[in-house]
């Protein structure tokens, strides 16, 4: 015997069915460290909003870096700074080491070690600037170009996956905010300040 069909109650009509995603923690939940930090600075003259934003930018950038090193970059046997160095040479072309260090966000001494490793793998090559002998120019080799060209689509697919919960409008808004913050730092420190 079949049950009579009736109209299923809508959630707004008093249905006890849980909403989609119910029981899952909200993605925007405040991290424990943030709550503890707010408790620690209670009583001080602290702007909690700016503290929360900057600490979450730092946490996000560190987490993103670690995630990529454990996933996409593992197959290419690259750490984050080596990948960024290859990326900078790929998009800019040859760069003098001082400029490359700034663009890659590393100290010149750190860049030297990165270049030693990449050069040993025949991914980059260095040459002395003919006009000013103390300056060194870095280029991708054909092997380096092949590696970054084949790697970047996978890298970007992972970028797309980790921001997949955001709408196009949210992504544009977040990008605009981060660019504004970077522009403010440039105003404070000077554009493309050299990292010592």
Summarised one tens digit per residue, pLDDT across range 143-187 is 999 999 999 999 999 999 999 999 999 999 999 999 999 999 999
pLDDT of residue 37: 86
Summarised one tens digit per residue, pLDDT across range 76-99 is 999 999 999 999 999 999 999 999
Considering only CA atoms, which of 48, 7, 4, 47 is closest in space to residue 30? 48
Q: What is the band of 74 on the pLDDT scale with cuts at 50, 70, 90?
A: very high
* Residue in the block written with tokens 């503890």: 36
pLDDT of residue 26: 44
Q: Which is higher by pLDDT, 191 or 57? A: 57
CATH topology of domain 47-162: Arc Repressor Mutant, subunit A (1.10.10)
The C-alpha atoms of residue 171 and residue 162 are separated, in whole angstroms, by 11
């Amino acid at each position: 015997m079949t049950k009579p069909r009736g109209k299923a109650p809508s959630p707004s009509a008093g249905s006890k069915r849980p909403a989609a995603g119910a029981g899952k923690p909200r993605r925007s939940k405040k991290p424990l460290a943030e709550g503890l930090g707010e408790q620690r600075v209670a009583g001080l003259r602290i702007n909690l909003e700016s503290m929360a934003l900057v600490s979450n930018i730092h946490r996000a950038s560190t987490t993103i870096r670690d995630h990529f090193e454990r996933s996409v970059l593992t197959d290419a046997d690259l750490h984050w700074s080596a990948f960024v160095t290859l990326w900078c040479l790929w998009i800019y072309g040859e760069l003098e080491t001082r400029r490359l260090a700034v663009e890659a966000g590393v100290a010149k001494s750190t860049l030297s070690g990165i270049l030693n490793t990449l050069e040993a793998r025949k991914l980059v090559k260095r040459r002395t600037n003919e006009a000013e002998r103390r300056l060194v120019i870095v280029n991708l080799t054909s092997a380096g170009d092949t590696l970054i060209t084949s790697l970047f689509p996978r890298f970007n697919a992972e970028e797309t996956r980790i921001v997949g919960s955001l709408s196009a409008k949210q992504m544009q808004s977040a990008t605009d905010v981060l660019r504004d913050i970077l522009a403010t730092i440039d105003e404070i420190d000077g554009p493309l300040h050299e990292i010592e």
